[in-house]
Amino acid sequence: MQIATNDTQWKTFIETGKNKIIQHYESKCDEILANSEALIKIEQYEKAIALLLTIPEELSNSHARVLAKAVEVYKLLKEKQSIKLLAIAKMEFEKGNFMEGVNLIQKIEPATNGFAEGQNLIKLNQDKWCKQLVLKAKASLATKDYLG
């Protein structure tokens, strides 16, 4: 059996279902926002964003508010990630792994607070790395290891 696309009963069924879904989200919007706030407090940013993005755009009264909240949570997520990347990069620099530290810092979003700190961290460690390379080159020259 095929359903005709111009069947009025089918169109009514679809429209009724769509309206019920919208009504459901309208009635649950404040609850969804409250649940997202609870997730934010425990730093479950990805889950909060996913929950917020379940609100359909057809909820014109609430959708802008929900999107603004999702953007806010996304910024919190990026700040958290930048702090983690900075901590790992610092450890890599302490171990003498300059390039690994730089690669981690390059993953930090420019819009985060950690970006400037990461750039400063590179500058601070760049001198150490250059000195290590110069010492290594001098040692290679002293031992006539021109390929080392």
Q: Using the 8-state DSSP alphabet, how is residue 117 labeled?
A: H
Highest mean pLDDT among 26-35, 78-87, 119-128 belongs to 78-87
**Span 4-45, pLDDT tens digits:** 778 888 889 989 999 999 899 888 999 999 999 999 999 999
72 close to 52: Cβ distance less than 8 angstroms? no
Work out the burial of residue 30: count CB atoms within 10 Å of its CB; fewer than 13 is exposed, 13-18 middle, 19 or more buried: exposed
pLDDT higher than 70, residue 1: no
